[in-house]
C-alpha cells in the first residue's frame, strides 16, 4: 500500500521519483514500435498496483488440462493464487476431459474457478490446435461478458514471483526464453511458403512463446479466430505448421504488433539456467517427461 498522508485530507501517491536518465541499460525495454518490454526494474510495482486496482478489473485465465496434464493443475493454481494478479478479480477457466480430477484449491476473495468439459484426444498436436478454437467459443459464450482482460496459459507451469498488472495491455505476448539471444533467421518460425504461418528468413521481430497470450478479451478473440482459420486452411492443404499454434501466433503478431511485450522473466523453462539479465523468474515451464504425460 502506498502511504496516504492523513494531514493532506486527500490521497497522495508517494513513490520514488522517475528518472529520464537512470534506468536499466543492460536490456532493451521498448520495441521499435514503442511497445514496452517488461523487465524487472522498468516499473514500480507499488505504483502499478495503485493505478490498476481502483479500476476493479476482472481477469480471465484459460488453462487446458487434457489427459494426464491434469496432474499439473494443483501446482499451477496454488502458485497462481500466491503470485498471479494478486488482489484482482480472477476467473479461471479450466478445460479438461477429466473434470473429477480437477483438484480443489483454496481461492482468495474475488477469485473463481469454473471447469469446462472438453473432449480428450490421442494427438497432442490436435490438443494444441484446438486450444485456439475452444478459447474463441468460450469468449463468445461467456468470457466477453465476465472479464476485461484474458491470459491463456500453459498448465505445465508454475508461478514463482509477482506477475501483476504491469502485464496488462491491448495485446500482450511473451518472448520465448529459448531464442531471445538469437538472430531471427535462427527462429523456429514456419519456413514453408505453403503454410499460412510462413515467415521468410529476413522478417520477424522476436520469437514469441505459445505458452502465453494475453490482452483485452476482444483482441485475443480476434487473434484466436484468425489463427484458427489459418490453421484450418493449412489442414485443408495437408500442412501442419512447425510448432502448430505457436507458429500461427508468431505470424499473427508479426503483422499485428503486440502493444506490450513481456520479457522472458514471464516465461522461463526450469531446465534453463538463469541468465544475468533475468533478475527474477516469475513463471516457468516445469520439466516433464513427454513420454509420460503425452498421449503419443
From residue 197, alpha-carbon distances to 118, 130, 214, 228, 263 in Å are 26, 16, 20, 11, 23
Beta strand 283-285 with 157-159 is antiparallel
Nearer to ligand UDP, 155 or 173 (CB): 155
| Residue 66 sits in the site that holds ligand UDP (CB under 6 A) | yes
Residue 66 CB, nearest approach to ligand UDP (Å)? 4
- Nearest residue to 77 (alpha-carbon basis) of 135, 9, 16, 159: 159
Alpha carbons 234 and 195: distance in angstroms, whole number: 6
**Nearest residue to ligand UDP, scored by beta-carbon proximity:** 154
- Nearest residue to 154 (alpha-carbon basis) of 288, 14, 5: 288
Nearer to ligand UDP, 65 or 199 (CB): 65
Stretch that binds ligand UDP, among 33-41, 149-157, 169-177, 275-283 (CB under 6 A): 149-157
The entry of ligand UDP, Mn ion, none near residue 127 (CB within 5 to 8 angstroms by kind) is: ligand UDP
What cell numbers appear for 200 in the block? 521468410
| Residue 174 sits in the site that holds ligand UDP (CB under 6 A) | no
CA of residue 245 relative to chain centroid, distance: 14
What's 79's DSSP letter? H
- Nearest residue to 138 (alpha-carbon basis) of 242, 229, 64: 64
Nearer to ligand UDP, 62 or 259 (CB): 62
Q: Is 83 exposed, middle or buried (0-12, 13-18, 19+ CB in 10 A)?
A: middle
Is 246 a catalytic site residue?
Answer: yes
| Run of H or E including 127 | helix 124-138
Residue 269 · residue 285 · CB < 8 Å: yes
Q: Is 220 exposed, middle or buried (0-12, 13-18, 19+ CB in 10 A)?
A: buried
What's 41's DSSP letter? T
Tell which positions 116-145 bind ligand UDP, by CB under 6 A: 124, 127-128
| Residue 154 sits in the site that holds Mn ion (CB under 5 A) | yes
The entry of Mn ion, ligand UDP, none near residue 36 (CB within 5 to 8 angstroms by kind) is: none
Residue 46 CB, nearest approach to ligand UDP (Å)? 32
Q: Which residues pair with 252 in a beta bridge?
A: none
Residue 272 CB, nearest approach to ligand UDP (Å)? 13
Q: Which of 38, 60, 67, 138 binds ligand UDP (CB under 6 A)?
A: 67
Q: Which of 71, 98, 279, 294 binds ligand UDP (CB under 6 A)?
A: 294
The entry of Mn ion, ligand UDP, none near residue 294 (CB within 5 to 8 angstroms by kind) is: ligand UDP
| Active-site entry in 133, 146, 245, 246 | 246
Nearer to ligand UDP, 212 or 217 (CB): 212
Query: Which spans of this chain sit near Mn ion (rule: CB under 5 A)?
Result: 154, 156, 285
- Residues with catalytic annotation? 246
The binding site for ligand UDP (CB under 6 A) comprises 64-67, 69, 124, 127-128, 154-156, 211, 285, 294-295
Amino acid at each position: 500500500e502506498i502511504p496516504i498522508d492523513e494531514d493532506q485530507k486527500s490521497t497522495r501517491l508517494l513513490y520514488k521519483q522517475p528518472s529520464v536518465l537512470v534506468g536499466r541499460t543492460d536490456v532493451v525495454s521498448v520495441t521499435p514500435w514503442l511497445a514496452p518490454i517488461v523487465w524487472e526494474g522498468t516499473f514500480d510495482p507499488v505504483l502499478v498496483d495503485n493505478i490498476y486496482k481502483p479500476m476493479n478489473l476482472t481477469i480471465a485465465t484459460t488453462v487446458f488440462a487434457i489427459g494426464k496434464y491434469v496432474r499439473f493443475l494443483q501446482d499451477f493454481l496454488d502458485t497462481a493464487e500466491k503470485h498471479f494478479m494478486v488482489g484482482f478479480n480472477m476467473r479461471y477457466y479450466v478445460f479438461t476431459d477429466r473434470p473429477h480430477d480437477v483438484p480443489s484449491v483454496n481461492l482468495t476473495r474475488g477469485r473463481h474457478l469454473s471447469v469446462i468439459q472438453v473432449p480428450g484426444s490421442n494427438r497432442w498436436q490436435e490438443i494444441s490446435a484446438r486450444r485456439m478454437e475452444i478459447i474463441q467459443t468460450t469468449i463468445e459464450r461467456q468470457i466477453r461478458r465476465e472479464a476485461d482482460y484474458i491470459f491463456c496459459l500453459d498448465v505445465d507451469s508454475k508461478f514463482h514471483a509477482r506477475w501483476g498488472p504491469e502485464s496488462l495491455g491491448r495485446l500482450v505476448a511473451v518472448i520465448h526464453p529459448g531464442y531471445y539471444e538469437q538472430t531471427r533467421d535462427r527462429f523456429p518460425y514456419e519456413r514453408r511458403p505453403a503454410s499460412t504461418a510462413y515467415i521468410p528468413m529476413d522478417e520477424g521481430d522476436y520469437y514469441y512463446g505459445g505458452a502465453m497470450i494475453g490482452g483485452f478479451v476482444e483482441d485475443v478473440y480476434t487473434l484466436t479466430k484468425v489463427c484458427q482459420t489459418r490453421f484450418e486452411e493449412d489442414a485443408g492443404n495437408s500442412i501442419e505448421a512447425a510448432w502448430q499454434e505457436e507458429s500461427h501466433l508468431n505470424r499473427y503478431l508479426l503483422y499485428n504488433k503486440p502493444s506490450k511485450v513481456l520479457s522472458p522473466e514471464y516465461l522461463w523453462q526450469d531446465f534453463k539456467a538463469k541468465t544475468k539479465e533475468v533478475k527474477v523468474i516469475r513463471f516457468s515451464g516445469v520439466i516433464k517427461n513427454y513420454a509420460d504425460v503425452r498421449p503419443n
